[in-house]
Structures are given as C-alpha cells and as structure tokens.
A and B are shown apart, each in its own frame.
Chain A
C-alpha cells in the first residue's frame, strides 16, 4: 500500500500532532530521539513525516509532496494555497486580532487612515478591505508588539493567545478578527488518489476527538 506523507509545522503543533497520532497507534520512534534526520518513517512503515517552518506547510501540501499537513489556521489564511481544509484539531487555540494602545480604539473606529504592523499582511489586508478602511500595512518578521510602542505603527494585527505579551507592553485587543486553531489540510489530488487511506485516518481522528470531548 502507498505511504501517506505528513508535513508538520515545527514546534508545539508537531508535538501535539504526534501525541494525537500516538493515541491512534501510529508511532514513530525515529522522531523521538535526537536525530538530524529530516524525513521520518512511522514504525509500521505506513506513514512518513517531515517537519518544516509553519508557513511552508501549505506549500508542501499544495504541491502534493506531502499528502496531509498539520498547521495553524493563521498560516492557512495567510498563505492562501489551493488545499482542502478538512479537520479542526482543536488544539493550539488562539485568535487573530487587531491590538494597540487603548486610546487607538477611537482612531480604529473613526475610519481614518491607520498604519498596521503585522507578520500577516494578507490577513490584515483582507480584514481592513472588508470594512473599506484605508490602511498602510507594514510587514514585520517578529516582535510585532514593538510597532505601536516605538511609533512605527498605530496598531498591530497578530495572534493573541493569553494576552500576556500585550498586557506587559501596555497594549489591548481592539478587535477580534478570527478564532484560530490547528487544522488538518489535504492535497487536492491525494484526497482522490489516496482517498481510502486518508479518509480512514481522518475518521479515526474525529472519533478520538469526539470520545475525548464526551
């Protein structure tokens, strides 16, 4: 039988995903050790895994070099690739939001021109377009909270988990954009060509989730 290949977003999501698969009896000893390998095979030989930067997961899945990807909804929205989003894994929950100093709320609602710093320019663009807000989007690659503090931007668009980082820097959530969590995405061709294998796996994950929630 053909193998099913997973692309996992490096870090916490990958760890969570492997825990989930373990509960379904899919284990991968290779991955647990301190190895420099990039591609791993499950102990039963049926699955392959590789870790990649989160924003690359949809790319690997779009091209079909990975059949399934496990990645955050934020990345899916930002990368906007042609892939099936089939399952909400319900971990890594957080939200995409507009944040800034509390006094910015008025400016944000006024519809006046604002500057937005973000790691997610596509998400920010489509959000402000919905409200016909004129904005200047400034793409940053990390510590976006700095933007309003040092005066680079009026507000930021970023992931908010506990809100702690915001709070420590005197920022608050000004508007929610979208709830986020880890999702399972599938290549459009794999969904057909490897339908039975993928469908079974997804069903098993869903059943497991349901049992856990019950």
Chain B
C-alpha cells in the first residue's frame, strides 16, 4: 500500500499562518454581523442520516454526497449544506415554538465536484436562515445582513443580482406550454444551455411578441429601470405581480441604504428551482463564481414535515478570502508581537510583566533560547516587532527588531 503519511486527499486543504489568521478574523467579523441582527448561532453534526440531504431533491444531490455507512449498516452522509440540517432541527421542535426563528452558522460542508475539476470538496460557508415568515421585509433583511457581513469582512466592491424564481415560474406556466415542453425548458435551464433553450422556445407554439421577450430574457440584467420596462411588456398577471414584489423589495433595500449594490437579473438561465420567490447572488471582480447565494425557499421545510416559509443566504468563505487576498496579499508580518527574553534571576518579574501586557491586549511570546543573540535571530526571521530583554533587576531593554534601536525602561514604567 502507498504511504500517504505526508499527503492530504484531493479537495481538502490546511490553513496555516497568516491564512489561518485571516480566516479566523473574517469569520469572527461575519459572526458579529449575524449576532447584531439577532441570528442565533447553531451547530449541527458533521455527518447525519443520508435522508436529511436527499429528501425532495435526492436525485440531483446524491452523486455529489460524501456517503458513509455506519457500523449498523445505516446510510449516512457528510453535511452537504447547512440549510437542510437547520430545516431538520426546526421541524423536530414542538409545533408551538414561536416564529420567526433566526439561525446563523459558520461551518464546513462536503461535496464532490466532477473529477479533477480542482475545486474544494470541503468548503466553509457562513450563512443565515430566517424561518417561519414570508414577507418582503424578511427578504430585505437577509439581503441586508449578507451585505453587512461581507462589508464587515473587509470587501467593499461587489454587486448583488436579484431575480425572482416566482416570476420565471409564473411566466412559463402562463404561456400554456405543454408539460413535456416545460420539463425540457427546465432541463435546458438546469444545464445552463441557452442554445438548447432557444431552440425549444422557437419550436414551441408561442406568439411572436412573447417569443421575442422570452429570448431577450434568456440573458437579461440591469438596474431598476429595466425591471419597470419588463413589467410593462408582461402579459401574465402573476408574473407582473412577482415583478411588483421585487419593486417593493427594492424600496426596502433603499431604506436600508444599500441599494447602490443592487442590480436585477431576469435571466432564465439563472433560475434555481430550489427557490420559490426572490433569489440573489453576490459577485465581485476577480472571482469566477458567486461569492454568496440566497433566496426564499418555501418548499424545503415541507419535505421535513412542517409547512414553514423560509429565506436565507450562504456566503462562501473560501472565495471571500481569495478575493481579500487578491486585494491585499498576505504578509508574514508579526510586528504586533513581542518576545520576552529572561534568565533564571529575572524570570519571575518577566512573567509578571508579560501577564500584565497580555491583559492590555498585547501578544507576548516567551523565548526559550539560551542566548539573546539566538532570540534576536529568531525574532528577525519571524518578523516579530520587539524584544523585551530582562537582563537583571528591574530594568528592561526594549529592542526594536526592525531598526535595532534600544530603549531602557524600568518595570514600573511598563506596568
């Protein structure tokens, strides 16, 4: 057998040094944003029974799941997304639990991409779910919290593309297409195949005006004005209503003061069948896929036995980090750290000073080197900011590693 002692499998990675620090930092910032909007943190098991991740949409999900078989022969899977785990939690509660419920999480999920596509199998998502309320205010809150979280993590340039699954569904069903044609349409959309979609629509018996509009809609995005113009041309009243909802949603987003990030996307090809109302994606330059994706999913919880509406968003932490690192490359700088060098006769006082400085929020590392020269070399290599050298008695040499400048201070002055 091959010896894999020093290898990690395809699709997983280590986070060390500055990358680990960045990940930790943005996760904390995002959690802070979630908490401030009253989303309770939730943690669910890393693996659960397979059904949790397959109920409803099993067929599509299964080949991508990390399957496990328990000792008893039960089918399990590693978590493929948190939303389903949260849906399970909510649906096992007593039915008189007060609504809405707000949950937030940061967790790894596991999915197989196609072979050798070079994508992570274990990826970290930060997300929120608002369960038990179907209103535009709730939709707007999710969008606002997603924006707040991404901004808090340090990203300023991004755009949000809002669409409506309901609009597309209503429009397509009011066209009077046969069941067969409709399922072909959805299949083409699922595969993102605009060419096939066009062929199907051209062959279906639709009046010329509607066909023209539909073909335009296969890739259609723009600002709020575009929304109005499409609404005017719609004949389906239900599709019109869905667009009206988006206009109202936009008003609330404006009140939150974040409408400058918002664009509308009615592209048939961005339709997600999982969603039942508004849906959105967040994009930024330099990243080839959506940084965050969310929307209203009023059907999912029904699969778990409770008919509850829900809306949520998931932010891809790995992509967010990738973008932040493009903007500001990581550096191995530890200038906010200091090293304490002491000897047998100064150890006790150095410990007291060290503890005090840590209380003040400084990062203090103990040196275990025998000589000051060794400690200095180490500090230079690790780019540590300063050295506190306790030579003897109550005076301390404070050494600036970058400049070589030395200050002498007494213990009292430092404390």
Contact = CB atoms under 8 A, between A and B. Distances in A.
Contacts of B286: 64
A193 B192 contact: no
Interface in B77-114: 114
Interface in B158-201: 159, 161, 191-196, 198
Given A81-B117, A84-B194, A85-B195, A192 B161 contact: yes
B221 interface: yes
Contacts of B161: 192
A189 B283 contact: yes
Q: How large is the interface on A (under 10, 10 to 19, 20 to 34, 35 or more residues)?
A: 20 to 34
Contacts of A81: 114, 117
A108 interface: no
B114 A80 contact: yes
A88 B285 contact: no
Interface stretch (B238-246, B252-260, B287-295, B362-370): B287-295
B195 A193 contact: no
Contacts, number: 67
Given A63-B288, A80-B114, A187-B288, A192 B283 contact: yes
B162 to A, nearest CB: 11
Contacts of B284: 193
Interface in B277-314: 281, 283-290
B219 interface: yes
Contact of B159 (A2, A85, A192, A202): A192
Contacts of A84: 192, 194, 219, 269
Nearest to B267: A191
B289 A85 contact: no
A87 B193 CA distance: 9
A63 to B, nearest CB: 5
Contacts of B285: 2, 193
Contacts of A188: 192, 288-290
A22 B359 CA distance: 68
Contact of A82 (B118, B192, B194, B263): B192
Interface string A83-111: 11111100000000000000000000000
Contacts of A187: 288
B265 interface: yes
Interface in B186-223: 191-196, 198, 218-219, 221-222
A65 interface: yes
Given A189-B290, A202-B219, A86 B117 contact: no
Contacts of B195: 85-88, 183
A187 B265 CA distance: 15
Contact of B283 (A63, A183, A193, A199): A193
Contacts of B290: 188-189
A74 interface: no
Contacts of B117: 59, 62, 81
- For the residues of A in contact with B, the DSSP-based class is mixed
Contacts of A83: 192
Interface string A143-180: 00000000000000000000000000000000000000
A110 B159 CA distance: 55
A188 B192 CA distance: 9
A85 B192 contact: yes
A195 B195 CA distance: 18
A59 B114 CA distance: 12
B364 to A, nearest CB: 43
A65 B288 CA distance: 7
A81 B151 CA distance: 30
A85 B283 contact: no
Contacts of A87: 194-195
Contacts of A86: 194-195, 218-219
B281 A192 contact: yes
Nearest to B199: A88
A88 to B, nearest CB: 5
Contact of A64 (B118, B281, B289): B289
A65 B285 CA distance: 11
B289 A189 contact: yes
Max count, chain B CB within 10 A of own CB: residue among A82, A85, A192:
A192
A192 B263 contact: yes
A2 B288 CA distance: 15
A190 to B, nearest CB: 8
A192 B192 contact: no
A85 B221 contact: no
A193 B161 CA distance: 9
Interface of B: 114, 117-118, 159, 161, 191-196, 198, 218-219, 221-222, 263, 265, 267, 269, 281, 283-290
14 contacts: A65-B288, A80-B114, A82-B192, A82-B289, A84-B219, A84-B269, A86-B195, A88-B195, A188-B192, A189-B290, A191-B267, A192-B159, A192-B283, A193-B283
The 5 A-B pairs at the shortest CB distance, nearest first, are namely: A64-B288, A86-B194, A88-B195, A85-B193, A63-B288
Given A88-B198, A195-B221, 4 more contacts: A86-B219, A188-B192, A192-B221, A202-B219
